[in-house]
Chains A and B, each alone.
Chain A
Amino acid sequence: MKNLIKVERARQNMTQAELAEKVKVARQTIIAIEAGRFVPSATLAFKIATILNCKADGIFELEEKDWL
């Protein structure tokens, strides 16, 4: 799953550590999500979207391989 967390974070001048603290996960989890190495649960995806003032489907986007 692709995501635009890094872009939205940069737009809001927010660090990974700040985002991690607001959604109550480890900074490593934000690093892994941004790198596409971990797909968050729906709850965490909505939390991240809420903190970044976006819609969840505006940040997370399905890729071709997600349908396989």
Chain B
Amino acid sequence: MKHNPFPYSYWTKILGILIIIAGVISFFRQYHKKGIFDINELAIGLSWGLVFIFFSKERTDDEMIHGLKFKALTWAIIVAFSITELYNYLFLNWRFKRGHDIILSVSAYQFLALTLIIAIISFHYLKHKATLNDAE
């Protein structure tokens, strides 16, 4: 019985990349139009794109890949949540001198984007580490 926990096909990664590109373009268009860096605009594109990239099947998908992805995601959530908590604590509770364009709390989109960036980096690192120096 073959069970794959990742719902999207490998080619969905291309859709993810296109969404990220659209998000980046939208971010710069907002800057040129209004003169503000809308990080949330960027985070929306990034988070949607990264969801399709991370939760799609790999070119060769097997139980080791599933295990590594789960491990990477577990660590990413812990690390991203700690960073989010620390950032929110520092900027909401401490009386730092706040710049005009500094975001004061991390939104759900930014948290998801940060989590998935960390998850993707750690997944590729774990995959590289698992197969290091032993190839025939």
Contact = CB atoms under 8 A, between A and B. Distances in A.
Interface of A: 15-16, 24-29, 31-35, 37-38, 40-41, 44
Interface residues of B, number: 13
B62 interface: yes
Contacts of A26: 60, 62, 64-65
B64 A28 contact: yes
B101 to A, nearest CB: 44
A31 B63 contact: no
A44 B127 contact: no
Nearest to B133: A35
Given A29-B62, A38-B67, 19 more contacts: A24-B62, A25-B60, A26-B60, A26-B62, A26-B64, A26-B65, A28-B127, A29-B63, A29-B64, A29-B65, A31-B131, A32-B130, A32-B131, A32-B134, A34-B134, A37-B129, A38-B64, A40-B63, A44-B63
Contact of B136 (A15, A25, A41, A44): A15
B134 A41 contact: no
A38 B127 CA distance: 11
Contacts of A32: 64, 130-131, 134
Contacts of B102: none
Interface string B105-136: 00000000000000000000001011100111
B134 A31 contact: yes
